[in-house]
Structure 1
């Protein structure tokens, strides 16, 4: 029997669904703890967030917690996998129009050595979107391991699953298009131009909405966000990545990759 609950945290709707009724309370506590820790590490809306120390360092090395280092590594991994289409860096353009004596920094200039982060001068991190997807993955894995049940964790538009699968699979909503069946251990994310996604402002372009199934929420999130920025090349790129995806263009026409024709995706 599936039971679930929802609440708001980190400016998102959180959903936890488990296959054992007795596990719901402990699952909510575990998920809430993981979310609170990640938010404290990297939310730019919190004055006490650890990431501010990194952003203020401007070219100097900073020691960070294991938690923040892990989130930053996840963000850099997505940047590499998307060839920079989804970058964790926001370049300081407060002096636009004034020639800079420094080269424009990129994610490739960031170094993380154990618990020490070195970011180039003129850049700051904004990893909230990526961190939320990564947090969904970690929370789902923790619940499944600790409580030995099947679990679905949704943080905003990012969905992760773990543990044993309920009969009929996990039913996940596709915004504006009903639901799809998500096998356990897989993930789902939707990016849209009408929402803030991947820690950045809405992006204009070819696509109105992109939904992606992947092995984890981190990659589903990153590939969906990257597709918004790739424009007409998104379909080819998604096929090369062998991802199941559904794309809606500005005229509301729907396109799907070969993987989306799987019977679990409706």
Structure 2
């Protein structure tokens, strides 16, 4: 029997499902603690968030907590895998006045952010906002921790990004897709959905990707919205199970989506 719990955390609807009836209360405690911890270190909307220490350092190395180090590493990995489409630099930096930066210095990018263990060096003139990848990483970690501690099947979801761990329930994890339809999410896999609101000029109204982890699934959705018609080839290149709905409502799927359990 699957038991569910729902609440709001870090500005998102959080859903927890477990396969063991008695495990729900303990699982919810684990997930809530992980969400709170992640938000506390990197939510730029919080004045006490640890990431402000990195942003205020302006070119000076900063020692950070292990949790923030992990989240920064995930964000930089996603940036490299997507050629900067998923950018850990704050959106405010996109409008940074180039005349405000001394001409001897090129405009900084995510490639200039250095992370050595738990020491971070962010270049002068930028600030980091890793909320998107941090939420995906939080989903991954929460599912893994529930399974590790309680040895039950689990699904954790924040907004439209989710991850599973442990054994699946009878019949598998059946997930309703935005706009209609159902897909089976394999145990140990993750899924994310993004809409055209994340990229207004996109050819696609909606993109759903199943991947090995939530950070990669969410990042792949972001790339697909940006790449337009080239998204299908890019997704196939990485063997990702994906469903894309174009502006006319037509559904396009990658080869792996025909059997998403193999994703």
1:157, distance to aligned residue in structure 2 (A): 1.0
Check 1:84–1:21 CA distance in 2 against 1; reply closer, same or farther (3 A cut): same
Question: Which residue of structure 2 aligns with residue 199 of structure 1?
Answer: none
Question: Which residue of structure 2 aligns with residue 131 of structure 1?
Answer: 134
1:254, distance to aligned residue in structure 2 (A): 1.4
* Residue 2 (1) aligns with residue 2 (2): yes
* Residue 16 (1) aligns with residue 16 (2): yes
Check 1:70–1:203 CA distance in 2 against 1; reply closer, same or farther (3 A cut): farther
CA deviations over 1:62-83 (Å, ceiling 9, x no partner): 1110110100000011111112
CA deviations over 1:163-196 (Å, ceiling 9, x no partner): 11111111122111232111111110001123x5
**Given that residues 208 and 244 in structure 2 are in contact (C-alpha distance below 8 angstroms), is that contact kept between their aligned partners in structure 1?**
yes
**Given that residues 15 and 158 in structure 2 are in contact (C-alpha distance below 8 angstroms), is that contact kept between their aligned partners in structure 1?**
yes
Check 1:89–1:263 CA distance in 2 against 1; reply closer, same or farther (3 A cut): closer
1:238, distance to aligned residue in structure 2 (A): 0.3
**Aligned to 2:25, what secondary structure does the other structure show?**
helix
* Residue 187 (1) aligns with residue 190 (2): yes
Structure with the larger helix share: 2
Question: Which residue of structure 1 aligns with residue 88 of structure 2?
Answer: 88
Question: Which residue of structure 1 aligns with residue 253 of structure 2?
Answer: 256
**Aligned to 1:191, what secondary structure does the other structure show?**
strand
1:204, distance to aligned residue in structure 2 (A): 2.7
TM-score (norm 2): 0.94
1:87, distance to aligned residue in structure 2 (A): 1.3
* Residue 243 (1) aligns with residue 204 (2): no
Moved over 6 A (4+): none
* Residue 222 (1) aligns with residue 219 (2): yes
Question: Which residue of structure 2 aligns with residue 170 of structure 1?
Answer: 173
**Given that residues 152 and 162 in structure 1 are in contact (C-alpha distance below 8 angstroms), is that contact kept between their aligned partners in structure 2?**
yes
Coordinate RMSD, CA, aligned: 1.7
TM-score (norm 1): 0.93
CA deviations over 1:2-24 (Å, ceiling 9, x no partner): 11111101000000000011000
Check 1:242–1:88 CA distance in 2 against 1; reply closer, same or farther (3 A cut): same
**Given that residues 190 and 211 in structure 2 are in contact (C-alpha distance below 8 angstroms), is that contact kept between their aligned partners in structure 1?**
yes
**Given that residues 241 and 260 in structure 2 are in contact (C-alpha distance below 8 angstroms), is that contact kept between their aligned partners in structure 1?**
no
* Residue 36 (1) aligns with residue 36 (2): yes
Number of residues paired by the alignment?
Answer: 259
**Given that residues 203 and 229 in structure 1 are in contact (C-alpha distance below 8 angstroms), is that contact kept between their aligned partners in structure 2?**
no
Q: Counterparts of 2:86 and 2:220 in 1: how far apart (Å)?
A: 8
* Residue 64 (1) aligns with residue 35 (2): no
Q: Counterparts of 1:94 and 1:245 in 2: how far apart (Å)?
A: 33
- Give structure 1 stretches of 5+ with no counterpart: 197-201
**Aligned to 1:75, what secondary structure does the other structure show?**
helix
* Residue 120 (1) aligns with residue 120 (2): no
1:263, distance to aligned residue in structure 2 (A): 6.5
**Aligned to 2:219, what secondary structure does the other structure show?**
helix
CA deviations over 1:57-109 (Å, ceiling 9, x no partner): 11111111011010000001111111212111136356537363231111111
